[in-house]
Structure 1
């Protein structure tokens, strides 16, 4: 379908610190699908010390090490109330790995230090767990999500919290457990890859939720066939190797 005259405003938060696992690919996936539909997409970045940004259509926060979380923490706490207001208003948001942890209630470090998060997601993360590194499949309300996980975290959900999905395949020890978190149109997940180029169904979910706030319908069309074919081929490789164990990376 065409959404002529519509511009999708995408905000990536802390792209330098929380963007180490190909997270710019998530931004590119959103922008490319919108542009293939004949519309425009604007990508903005919020970096440490920047003025508080105006509300975007979609927010993306990526992954990074604990040192990166520490480095953005003061600025993130300044931005937190605005992010919380956006989520409450239904703005779609994707947070991967450490980005999800930052938006949570608390992070426990391997040294057992407790770091307060932004409190937007009702989760606590413990970073002292065993390592999980490998391909996985997550069944979610938007469809099956495939990708890669590499972390040493254990997530605890507050009462009433809604995980994003459940891991149904993989050999890293997380199969059968919940993945991520969902609050309104905000999604947190451990799935890397980056996740959106591999999973057009999730990309379309975020775009659709953004545009429906303007009364605009969205669905994939023949303009997206090539993107969907490439994603399908990549997903097939992952599914064919889902039982592969990664001892080193």
Structure 2
């Protein structure tokens, strides 16, 4: 199911048809923050990937698209957000501030979140513009980002607690982790947070921030199912995965790792 203007409706038939496993293990509610303003590099694909994989594993996905000014969904088992231009960030700032305490509470309560690029920055302590203006963030992740004239663009390979992760970065913000802040991963190829300290993204409890587009989840089924396990246990009390054929995803993933690390070597 998905939600349009606050009303839950069924997912398209093509999503449901991808699974032969009946969805009888319970509902898992996904909240996608600002899909119009903050999804310029295909990050909407992360939500679609999780919805499809839930079907394959035998769960019923309920997707809530949260737009600026809309009421907050009654239930959130996992929250996702994507990247956007500066103008997109400006358009969501007021609504994000309105729900700041709620998001902090959900993060503290263990709700898994995956925030990419612009939303990753907004969940940090602050974004400092090229002109020196300091824009406060939600403070869920102890990171500070500074805008600069140089963009960090290209494919990335990371080592993470979910295993190797591949993706594509395209950002001008340079992010520095606060003291004691865990990164999402260590860079094996690419620039990562700032191109100098070897870190990429940030992780606090079950909240992950990352610069990796692609979208990140279809090419990294281990990461996708790791997030779904957290969400499903929260929603239904247990994670009972189904039999999913990830042969093509693993081949694509491994091919990118081999190619990039061979080039780097």
Say which of 215, 218, 221 aligns to 2:237.
215
Q: Which residue of 1 aligns with 2:134?
A: 114
The answer to whether residue 186 in structure 2 is matched with residue 162 in structure 1 is no
Contact 1:167 1:174 in 2 (8 A): no
Q: How does 1:6-85 map to 2 (within 5 A)?
A: 6-85=26-105
Query: What CA deviation, in whole Å up to 9, does each residue of 1:191-228 have, x standing for no partner?
Result: 11100011011110111011222421244x43x10xx1
- Give the secondary structure class of the aligned counterpart of 2:156: strand
- Which moved further from structure 2: 57-66 or 230-239? 230-239
Contact 1:169 1:175 in 2 (8 A): no
Q: Which residue of 1 aligns with 2:256?
A: 238
Q: Which residue of 2 aligns with 1:190?
A: 211
Q: Which residue of 1 aligns with 2:122?
A: 102
Query: What CA deviation, in whole Å up to 9, does each residue of 1:72-104 have, x standing for no partner?
Result: 101100011111111111011000000100111
Contact 1:171 1:243 in 2 (8 A): no
Pair 1:44–1:86, CA change in 2 (3 A): same
- Which moved further from structure 2: 11-20 or 228-237? 228-237
Structure 1 residue 130: Cα displacement: 2.3
- Give the secondary structure class of the aligned counterpart of 2:218: helix
The answer to whether residue 225 in structure 2 is matched with residue 204 in structure 1 is yes
* Structure 1: gaps spanning 5 or more residues: none
Structure 1 residue 2: Cα displacement: 7.8
- Give the secondary structure class of the aligned counterpart of 1:197: coil
Contact 1:58 1:91 in 2 (8 A): yes
| Counterparts of 1:112 and 1:192, CA distance in 2 | 27
Q: Which residue of 1 aligns with 2:147?
A: 127
Query: What CA deviation, in whole Å up to 9, does each residue of 1:8-28 have, x standing for no partner?
Result: 111000110011111110001
- Give the secondary structure class of the aligned counterpart of 2:99: helix
Equivalent pairs, count? 241
- Give the secondary structure class of the aligned counterpart of 1:119: coil
Contact 2:121 2:127 in 1 (8 A): yes
Contact 1:170 1:243 in 2 (8 A): no
Give the structure-2-normalised TM-score: 0.84
Contact 1:134 1:244 in 2 (8 A): no
Contact 1:147 1:238 in 2 (8 A): no
* Structure 2: gaps spanning 5 or more residues: 1-20
- Give the secondary structure class of the aligned counterpart of 1:90: coil
| Counterparts of 1:114 and 1:20, CA distance in 2 | 24
Structure 1 residue 175: Cα displacement: 7.5
